[in-house]
Structure 1
Amino acid sequence: MAGLSDDFKPLTGVTLLLAGAVLALSNFMVVLDTTIANVSVPHIAGSLGISSSQGTWIITSYAVAEAICVPLTGWLAGRFGTVRTFVFGMLGFGLFSLLCGLSGSLAMIVVCRIGQGLCGGPLMPLSQTLLLRIFPKEQQGQAMGLWAMTTVVAPILGPILGGTISDDWSWHWIFFINIPIAGLCAFGAIRLLMPAETKTARLGVDTIGLALMILWIGALQIMLDIGREHDWFADSSIVMLSIVAAIGFVVFVVWELTEAQPIVDLKVFRHRGFTVAVISLALTFATFFSAVVVIPQWLQSSMGYTATYAGYVTAFVGVAAVVMSPIVAKLSEKVDPRGLVCFGILWLGFTSLLRVFWTSGADFWTLALPQLLQGIGMPFFFIPLTTIALGAVEPEETASAAGVMSFLRTLAGAVGTSISTTLFANSAVVSRSEIVSTMNSDATSQALQDRGFSLDQVRATLSQMADQESMALAINHLFLLSAFIFAGAAMVIWLSPRPRRAVAAGAAH
């Protein structure tokens, strides 16, 4: 990172351990917040009187804000200092967490989640940068292991913690629990990390590029989030948003390619290996993350699961990932990373096919087993893909390329969530129409009435069955489509050349 002072010596002893714990805890908290709200959406939606599809804005707004702020991390650290930026980001994250918990309307919680994402976006790369800075060179591998472990474990605990808190306490506490952690980490950083502060300089910032990026991403995400409720392009506001997004994107690309210090360095896309890897990453992560959001909603709205048990089902995806990560890291040194990535994504497609056969009568392990198996493929996808992407660019471009990857991965997750929730809802409507036309017969009605059901009870029973079965069919259709997308993303990676160089530890933040 630009502006590092040369006279700083790595920390030692208890100070190093405490500082490392502060950075690991901060990274854990930020990553946890990417998944903790997923299982709580039905609780929040019910409390605020909004639909489940509107409830997903709570997830997408955080992801989009985080994506926008990630490219600014280097500039913020160079302008204000790495530690100061970390401290202010942590304090802001805590403040907006408090406001999220106090929110009484959809508008307020979305605005506060945006603030949370803007403050939290830089914390993940900054925590990694500071870990590499405070640890001696011979211990940096251990430091990255600590950082990676928090990054992997947090998404596992997020759904479980979010579900348990929402059921046993209140959804507000999924945000309130951040406040003491944020305060502790900010205090620890001030007391322990200030000697590691980096030099600052009056750096210029690509304000036009930043404004264009906010414009087109904001227009695109709003269009995707509200499109279904506004009948898509039959509504003039959706048409206007799509035009703004399209024109804004084109102008943004042209500007960034000609700007001396762009907010997003698009020149790294001249490397075929990087471009192919990022396309594969975006397709795979968008498809993967959309399932992480949709499954808990289906379980709670149709299958009668509590938020806690929906969290247990969802969390299984991370268990095998923790076990397989060190194995894949070793394999990456010996095997063509393209083969590992291809296998990993195809494995994700295989686990999607297992979900195609889910029914409204599926038991817990029928639902949880594909999640557990999916975790096996995750490290095969993420770890070698980073090697392919960053190994394709010039060494001096590694930081920029890593920033672009992080930006597009996060943005893909938000876009994928919006598209998948829309497809899920639309498919459920179509399936329900077909089911109702089949079930709503005199024979069915008479059979139920013969069992003692009144006419009103017959209608209510048929309606409930139609709702439940239509949502089961919708989830089947969504995962069948996901399997095809995974297969395509797996094949795309072979368009990349084999990496020309190894990637240093910590390069992929």
Structure 2
Amino acid sequence: MGGSENTFSLLSPRQRLLAGLVLAMSNFMVVLDLTIANVSVPHIAGNLGITPDQGTWIITSYAVAEAICVPLTGWLAQRFGVVRVFTAAMIGFGIFSLLCGLSVTLGMIVACRIGQGLCGGPIMPMSQTLLMRIFPPEQRGKMMGIWAMTTLLGPAMGPIIGGYISDNWSWHWIFFINLPIAFVCILAATALMTPVETETKKLPIDFAGLALLVFWIGCLQIMLDIGRDHDWFADPLIVVLAILAGIGFLVFIIWELTEEHPIVDLRVFRHVGFSSGVFTLALCFGAYFASIVIVPQWLQLSMGYTATWAGFVTAFTAMTALLAVPFAARWMARVDVRILMSIAVAWMGIMSFWRAHWTSGADFWTLCYPQIFQGFAMPFFMIPLTTLTLSAVRPSETASAAGMQNFLRTMAIAISTSVVLTAWGDGQRVSRNEMASVLQAGDTQAQLSASGMSAEQIRQFISSIVDREATVIAMDYVFFISMILLFVAAAMVWLAPKPTGKVDTSAAH
């Protein structure tokens, strides 16, 4: 399935180019949907009459569903064929995008986002596999480079497109814009890619492993999402969910290690280079995504930014990352990738420390500078990481290792979103109480009273200032924790042995 047969000769150069552009576009759409909803959460929450905390379920439900589906991709492709799976996933993605846009309740939009995530999961690895089958070896590097650019461009464009649509049209359109792209991809897959379909064979599926995977991830994510509203472990429901998630996780590990055809091949963790690499990836993506979730909400709810301008601040990271991609690829051939990754991750930690000093008086460019400088580090950690992790496993384990890498990255994003918003909310309450206990507002009240404000107006004015300052202090605390995690991740890179030889990264999703 990696493109070892001469399947590329079945298409003309023009057909190959069209198919390649369509595959890159499909990947862009799926990656875009991971971040496009972030800046729109306040709009969606206001429209559906829910809290911004509940609105974040729209982000986590998509990420968790995608994480659950990724391990199934290899089995689906072998059972039904790569082109059929890709086409079916695009059809499902289009249908659930339409239903997300038509949603009128929180339950409906979360259910449809789960459907979107389940269908979106296979699209990224399937598009990569098809690129390897469509293009001859000498053109694959260039096409995979274009494909990788869409993976970086998606998170950049998501906040801007989502913000612009939410401000000028309606949040429903952040989902409706997927429909024409999905339609073009379905047509192109049917018309162009049928000749490069893979052979199929009946394979046993590990239903018990799949059920356990869905069970423990589901329990964990529900616990993280509703814990904030239920006072965490003071509520018996949260305790039960935590115990069930823990037991489910342990049973899942035991089952997968003893199953002949596991749904997730956990044996790849015996390679130290792979384990240190993917845990570094999980920590980095978790810390990185913390800012993608928290910054747009703070800018809109506390700083008076529109969704569009909040999107611009968030997007600068991915924009500068695009500029650094060619340099990262060049340096990889000359320098030990562990050095590149360690410096890049530590650099991201320094940027997090910079953001930990933001205040409510920060202007637009003060907010943008750490975002801009962080972007230069992103390709130097993302691109070498694939080489480091996949060079640590046997060639026969590459597909399983790549699937696990993507699974852990997606789970890190989902868990990070819940944990960060919890820490932010708790930090706001603590900061507010501390400020309220030491506040000497007598002089301020006298001045405001002299300017003609009533006692109630004065109370609300002071309360809003305290709330705004508590929000930014709590956010700075989250960034400080992110900095520590990133420095730990930078050190973890060195647990991996130096990668040797060339790696076939075609299975990396």
Partner of 1:12: 12
CA distance in 2 between partners of 1:378 and 1:213 (Å)? 30
Alignment partners' CA distance in 2, 1:413 and 1:240: 24
C-alpha deviations, 1:425-447, integer Å up to 9, x for none? Answer: 11011111122233363333223
Query: Do structure 1's residue 262 and structure 2's residue 262 form an aligned pair?
Result: yes
Matched residues, number: 509
Q: Distance between the aligned counterparts of 1:327 and 1:42, measured in 2? A: 37
Post-superposition CA distance 1:204-259 (Å, at most 9, x none): 11111010000000000000010010111111111110011000000000011111
C-alpha deviation, 1:153, in angstroms: 1.1
> Which segments of structure 1 move beyond 4 Å, counting only runs of 4 or more?
2-8
Q: Which residue of 1 aligns with 2:304?
A: 304
- Cα separation, 1, equivalents of 2:450 and 2:435: 22
* CA 1:340–1:207: 2 relative to 1, 3 Å: same
The one-letter code sitting in structure 2 at the alignment partner of 1:267 is R
What secondary structure is seen at the aligned counterpart in 2 of 1:58? helix
Match of 1:53 in 2: 53
Residues 395-415 of structure 1: CA distance to partner in whole angstroms, max 9, x if unpaired? 111111000000001001100
* Other-structure match for 2:73: 73
- Write out aligned runs for 1:162-201 (5 A): 162-201=162-201
Describe the SS at the equivalent of 2:35: coil
Change (3 A) 1:4 1:384: closer
1:370 maps to which residue?
A: 370
Contact (CA 8 Å) 1:11, 1:136: kept in 2 or not? no
Does 1:384 find its partner at 2:384? Answer: yes
Q: 1:394 aligns to what? A: 394
What is aligned with 1:417? 417
Matches within 5 A, 1:216-235: 216-235=216-235
The answer to whether the 8 A contact 1:428-1:474 is kept is yes
Matched, 1:111 2:111: yes
Map of 1:491 onto structure 2: 491
What is the correspondence of 1:413-452 to structure 2 with a 5 Å cutoff?
A: 413-439=413-439, 441-452=441-452
Q: Distance in 1 between matches of 2:457 and 2:8?
A: 75
Contact 1:2 1:78 in 2 (8 A): no
Q: Is the 8 A contact 1:94 1:179 kept in 2?
A: yes
Deviation at 1:16, TM superposition (A): 1.3
**1:466 match:** 466
Q: What does 1:111-150 correspond to in 2, within 5 Å?
A: 111-150=111-150
Structure 2 partner of 1:249: 249
Amino acid at match of 2:337: P
Distance 1:452 1:57, change over 3 A: same
- RMSD (CA atoms): 1.4
Return the alpha-carbon distance in structure 2 between the equivalents of residues 347 and 6 of structure 1: 43
More off after superposition, 430-439 vs 267-276: 430-439
**In 2, distance between residues paired with 1:471 and 1:48?**
24
Instruction: State yes or no: 1:158 paired with 2:158.
Output: yes
- Check whether the contact 1:19–1:188 (CA below 8 A) recurs between aligned residues: yes
- Report the secondary structure of 1:215's partner residue: helix
SS at structure 1 position matched to 2:501: coil
Greater mean deviation of Cα atoms: 20-29 or 249-258: 20-29
CA 136–355 in structure 1, closer or farther in 2 if over 3 Å, else same: same
Distance 1:391 1:334 in 2: 17
Return the alpha-carbon distance in structure 2 between the equivalents of residues 387 and 223 of structure 1. 35
Contact 1:3 1:199 in 2 (8 A): no
Aligned to 1:27: 27
Matches within 5 A, 1:297-376: 297-376=297-376
Structure-2 separation of matches of 1:398 and 1:61 = 28
Gap runs ≥5 in structure 2:
none
CA distance in 2, matches of 1:368, 1:258: 50
Q: Give deviations 1:481-507, integer Å, cap 9, x for gaps.
A: 111111111111111111133222424
- Alpha-carbon separation, structure 2, partners of 1:2 and 1:496: 26
Q: Cα deviation per residue 1:234-285 (whole Å; 9 max; x = unaligned)?
A: 1111111001100000000001111111111100000011111111111111
Alignment partner of 1:238 is 2:238: yes
Corresponding letter in the other structure for 2:427: S
Contact 2:286 2:412 in 1 (8 A): yes
CA–CA separation in structure 1 for the residues paired with 2:498 and 2:125? 27
Counterpart residue number, 1:274: 274
> What is the deviation of 1:13?
2.4
Identity %: 58
TM-score by length of 1: 0.98
What's the CA shift for 1:5?
6.9
Moved more, 149-158 or 441-450: 441-450
Counterpart of 1:504 in structure 2 is 504
The 1-side partners of 2:60 and 2:245 are apart by 17
SS in 2 for 1:471: helix
Query: 1:122 is paired with a residue of what secondary structure?
Result: helix
Contact 1:296 1:310 in 2 (8 A): yes
CA distance in 2, matches of 1:197, 1:7: 9
Distance 1:352 1:437 in 2: 30
State the Cα distance separating 1:47 from its structure 2 match.
0.6
Q: Which amino acid aligns with 2:422?
A: T
Q: For the Cα contact (< 8 Å) 2:348–2:486, is it kept in 1?
A: yes
CA–CA distance in 2 between the matches of 1:207 and 1:399? 20
Residues 165-198 of structure 1 deviation map (CA, whole Å, 9 limit, x = unaligned) = 0000000000001011111110111011111111
Structure 1 position 454, deviation (Å): 1.4
Q: Within 1, Cα distance between the matches of 2:395 and 2:19? A: 29
Q: TM-score, normalised by structure 2?
A: 0.98
Displacement after TM superposition at 1:7 (Å): 6.3
| CA distance, structure 1, for counterparts of residue 59 and residue 72 of structure 2 | 21
Aligned match of 2:40: 40
Residue 3 of structure 1: CA displacement? 11
The C-alpha deviation readout for 1:324-383, integer Å capped at 9, x for no partner, is 111111111111111111101101011111111111111100011111111011111111
SS of residue paired to 2:127: helix
Deviation at 1:152, TM superposition (A): 1.3
What is the alpha-carbon distance in structure 2 between the residues aligned to residue 389 and residue 459 of structure 1? 57
Determine if contact 1:57/1:110 at 8 Å carries over to the other structure: yes
* CA pair 402-7 structure 1, distance change in 2 beyond 3 A: closer
